[in-house]
Amino acid sequence: MSEYARPDRERRSVTQLLATAIPFAVFWYLRYRSLEVGCWLTLILAVPTTGFMTRLFMIQHDLGHGPFLHSRCARDVPGLRHSARDLQASRAFYEKLGFRVTGGDLAQN
């Protein structure tokens, strides 16, 4: 197991990140453009887009725990970027449902 606990191949990690982020961006753009054609095409494209987004979340999780890259700085830059994107999307989702963001101050609820 110790073989998998340390990142031996930086190139492989970066390749995985790029092989996930680039197709996700392409599918996201295609979904946006497919709205002009019809909702059915947008829904079909949602399946692979969701798969790549899930993979990006797994990579972000691995970046946070450290087994993905050697350098802490190399982990923090993409990890924080993906975390901020996830938090921003979650905040917008819950605000749309009517929840208020209180920043952890329970007295405001």
pLDDT digits (tens, 9 = 90+) for 34-58: 989 988 999 999 999 999 989 988 8
pLDDT band at 5 (very low <50, low <70, confident <90, very high): low
In a domain? residue 80? yes
Whether 107 maps to a domain, the answer reads: no
Statement: the pTM of the whole predicted model exceeds 0.95: no
Q: Could you tell me the residue range of the domain that residue 55 belongs to? A: 8-99
If you count them, how many residues does the chain have?
109
Whether 82 is covered by a domain: the verdict is yes
Residue 1 lies in a domain: no
| Domain contains 3 | no
Number of domains in the chain: 1
Chain segment 75-103, per-residue pLDDT in tens: 556 655 666 666 666 667 667 777 766 66
